[in-house]
């Protein structure tokens, strides 16, 4: 049996300001730090063999706080851009409400939630899937097959891509899924990596 825990980073400065963040490297808010600490509290009973995160500070800092909370700061941490948030192109840094007023709510929702449609000069969820899942298959699946326990702290869209792959979620269904910040999602697998359990903690 192996276990995988996914955690979306705590609230960032741009989350608080209702801005498109994408791969801009913004920091956590004090509330985001508390969310990461609470995630750690929920994970105290788990002993992780490996931890993975993106190259962006908000995910790395969330992971650091979680590992400190569970007293596992010495764990081997792998940082890779394959787990970065999707790049929102020319929308990055813009206020979401103002952008909706400019382009229309329906258009902005298409850019945000659809699988294949890219925001201007940015990545779609499909693009994110196509860089996140090969990395997962190469670096993480083999460790799960060895019955390791793994923690991934990353971003809303890179984790949605992982959820699509792991749970066989359709293109239509993934548009309805929003991953909360700082709430661990636990997967328990059998020897063939068939999901035995999938829950938010």
pLDDT at residue 149, as a whole number: 98
Domain count, the chain: 1
| Mean pLDDT (whole number) for 152-162 | 97
The model scores a pTM over 0.85: yes
Residue range 9-23, pLDDT digits in tens: 999 999 999 999 999
Give catalytic residue positions. 9, 85
Average pLDDT over residues 74-84: 97
Q: Which residue, chain included where needed, has tokens 């995160």?
A: 53
The enclosing domain of 138 has a CATH number of 3.40.50.1240
Where residue 2 falls among pLDDT bands split at 50, 70, 90? very high
> What is the structure's pLDDT at 168?
97
pLDDT band at 193 (very low <50, low <70, confident <90, very high): very high
What is the three-class DSSP state of 8? strand
Range of the domain at 32: 2-200
Per-residue model confidence (pLDDT) at position 138: 98
Q: Residue 169 is encoded by which pair of tokens?
A: 């979620």
Q: What is the CA radius of gyration of the chain?
A: 16
Using alpha carbons, select from 165, 103, 98 the residue that is nearest to residue 137.
Answer: 165
């Amino acid at each position: 049996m192996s276990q995988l825990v996914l955690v979306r980073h705590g609230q960032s400065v741009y989350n608080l300001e209702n801005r498109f963040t994408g791969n801009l490297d913004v920091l956590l808010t004090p509330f985001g730090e508390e969310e990461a600490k609470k995630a750690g509290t929920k994970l105290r009973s788990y002993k992780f063999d490996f931890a993975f995160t993106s190259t962006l500070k908000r995910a790395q800092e969330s992971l650091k706080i979680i590992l400190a909370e569970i007293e596992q700061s010495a764990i081997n941490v792998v940082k890779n851009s394959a787990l970065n948030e999707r790049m929102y192109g020319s929308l990055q840094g813009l206020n979401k409400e103002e952008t909706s007023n400019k382009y229309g709510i329906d258009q902005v929702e298409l850019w945000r939630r659809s699988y294949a449609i890219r925001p201007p000069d940015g990545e779609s969820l499909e693009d994110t899937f196509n860089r996140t899942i090969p990395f997962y298959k190469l670096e993480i699946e083999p460790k799960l097959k060895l019955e390791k326990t793994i923690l991934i702290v990353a971003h809303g869209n890179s984790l949605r891509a992982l959820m699509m792959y792991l749970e066989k979620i359709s293109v239509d269904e993934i548009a309805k899924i929003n991953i909360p910040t700082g709430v661990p999602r636990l997967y328990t697998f059998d020897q063939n990596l068939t999901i035995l359990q999938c829950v938010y903690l």
